[in-house]
Amino acid sequence: MPIVGHDVEVNNGEAEIVFSITTPEYNLHERMSAKQTLFLDPSIVHVYEELSFDDGPKQTLKADRGTMPVDAQRMIQNYIEEGHTQGALEIFSSSIASGRCPTPKMINMLVNIIIDDDSLNLTITKRMSLCVKVVELLAFILDTHGPKSFEHLWTSFSNSKQPKDEEKSADDLVGQTKCYLSQYDGFFKFVKSVLQPNADELSRERSRQHGLLLGFLVSILELDIRLRKKSYIDMQQAVIVQLLERDAFKVNLVNELDSIFSCYEISVNPTETLRDDLQISNHPEFQYSSRLMNLFIICAYTEGLLKTKNFEEDAYRHFARLRGQQCSYFLESISNPTFVTTLCSLAFSDSDLSLVPDSALQYKHNRTQVLNKIFKFDMLTRPISVDSIEDIWRHVIIMAKRISSYLESKVVRYDFQSAKKLCTYVTSGLTEDEMSLIWENAPGAVEGWRAHITVMLNEVVARAYKGYSPQDIRELRETIEMTMDMTQMSLEAV
């Protein structure tokens, strides 16, 4: 039952957000308060929030003046073939600014500049600079003309169904420029080629250049689905949905998840883990991966969009392999708190349960009694292996995100203009029973959790730390203590 719109109602000076919700299989449309929606299914609220960012085309053009003139197209093509790429881009940009729409052939020319690494005899630095300019021009086209200008790109990959020659017009068959994306057997094969680590510098440089194009393609996917949010039927036709559902019999996203998690497949010496992983957010491939993951979550959490099953479990299998800082970055980069808290719950169910009392094992696969599972089950688990302090740190990170994401999933914030003043309203979906559970159980549970973590820390203190320096250990212990403090404060604030 996706949300397709909202209104703000004011009663006695108090504003309340009311969602418009559709249930496609029964053709039902209803209005529901934010509090009630959060109680029934918080995931759809946060999907709607993400889709509601104002990222639509700027539409700076007053009128569409048709496609780019043939003479201009030929001039641009000649300039590119003769190596005067900068001049070609300037002519291209001027034509777009004047209201002209580029043809698929012209879009392909721009894409090919990035994909074809051998077409221009440039230094690595100059080539990267050129690719940046090409992507900026593509972004200008997206801003002014929207995602429709790029529809043909998604059928350029070699696993796509191409129109037969008899279905093409004569104009299409003359002077057509093949898109070099056709060398990839599907969009997600291109994704993996960009995200997976490369051993040699030349391959890494190529991935960085191609990554600029991937980032732009992800921007198209994000904008496309956001523009469709007011109609469930339109959302079913979103490009990302079509890419994920290309195989009509597919019931999971194993291969696609494998592609977007491939950036984490790096082998790091344990002595370098803390220093190197802290730079993870500076690498664009991780950002591309997270943006795609957030699109997957939107599709998976919008009822009826995909035929997939066990999405969270499939994602968890990849998440389980992430180390401390990788785990932290991944959890922070996911925008839907319902997915995050569910993923963290799966992590605790997959932990060492030797200290969990038999009476609490009933919560292992329980998704409805979340707070009871946190306080009586999750907080008593141990990592499968406690070989180093990083294993404990990772376990604490997951608990902190488990709790903060659960609390965040129960809240919706919205701005409302009242009496010439912009006010921010907060609606909580926590029930009185849930708040009572937190007030009565959190203090003792957190105290026991702290003692539990301290015991594990003491277990590893006398061991060899796999090369960690005393400074690394001290910093990690401080981070663990600070994370536990913040988790306790978030529960005390309820």
Residue 311 has pLDDT above 80, yes or no: yes
Q: What percent of the chain has pLDDT over 90?
A: 61
HEC string of the chain equals CCEEEEEEEEECCEEEEEEEEEEHHHCEEEEEEHHHHHHHCHHHHHHHHHHCCCCCCCCCCCCCCCECCHHHHHHHHHHHHCCCHHHHHHHHHHHHHCCCECCHHHHHHHHHHHHCCCCCCCCHHHHHHHHHHHHHHHHHHHHHHCHHHHHHHHHCCCCCCCCCHHHCCHHHHCCCCCCHHHHCCCHHHHHHHHHCCCCCHHHHHHHHHHHHHHHHHHHHHHHHHHCCCCCHHHHHCCHHHHHHCCCCCCCCCHHHHHHHCHHHCCCCCHHHHHHHHCCHHHCHHHHHHHHHHHHHHHHHCCCCCCCCCCHHHHHHHHHCCCCHHHHHHHHHHCCCHHHHHHHHHHHHHCCECCCCCHHHHHHCCCCCCHHHHHHHCHHHCECCCCCCHHHHHHHHHHHHHHHHHHHHHCEEEEEEEECCEEEEEEEECCCHHHHHHHHHHHHHHHHHHHHHHHHHHHHHHCCCCCCCCHHHHHHHHHHHHHHHHHHHHHHHCC
Give the gyration radius of the chain's Cα atoms.
26
CB 74 within 8 A of CB 111: no
Q: What percent of the chain has pLDDT over 70?
A: 86
Domain extents in the chain: 70-167+175-228, 262-492
The arithmetic mean of pLDDT across residues 432-458, rounded, is 96
What are the b/e assignments for 88-124, b being 16+ CB within 10 Å? bbebbeebbeeebbbbbbbbbbbbbbbbebebeeeee
Q: How confident is the model at residue 268 (pLDDT cuts 50, 70, 90)?
A: very low
Tokens of 358: 């038999």
What does pLDDT average to over the chain? 86
Does the pLDDT at position 251 exceed 80? no
User: Does position 277 have pLDDT exceeding 90, yes or no?
Assistant: no
Alpha-carbon distances, residue 134 vs 74, 85, 106, 431 (angstroms):
18, 10, 12, 52
Residues 51 and 153: their CA atoms lie apart, in Å, by 23
Q: Provide the pLDDT for residue 419.
A: 66
Maximal CA-CA distance, the chain: 78
pLDDT at position 275 is 46
Structure tokens at 478: 């401080």
Lowest mean pLDDT across 144-148, 161-165, 393-397: 161-165
Question: Does residue 365 have a pLDDT over 90?
Answer: yes
- The tokens describing 283, both together, are 């690498």
Tell me what the mean pLDDT of segment 79-94 comes to.
90
What does the CA dihedral 249, 252, 256, 260 come to, rounded to 10 degrees? 170
Q: What is the pTM of this model?
A: 0.90
Structure confidence at residue 137 (pLDDT): 96
The pLDDT, as a whole number, for residue 278 is: 47
Q: How confident is the model at residue 271 (pLDDT cuts 50, 70, 90)?
A: very low
Q: Indicate the pLDDT class of residue 167, thresholds 50, 70 and 90.
A: very low
Nearest to 363 by CA among 355, 443, 446, 371: 371
**pLDDT of res. 281:** 64
- pLDDT confidence of residue 272: 47
Per-residue confidence (pLDDT) for residue 325, from 0 to 100: 87
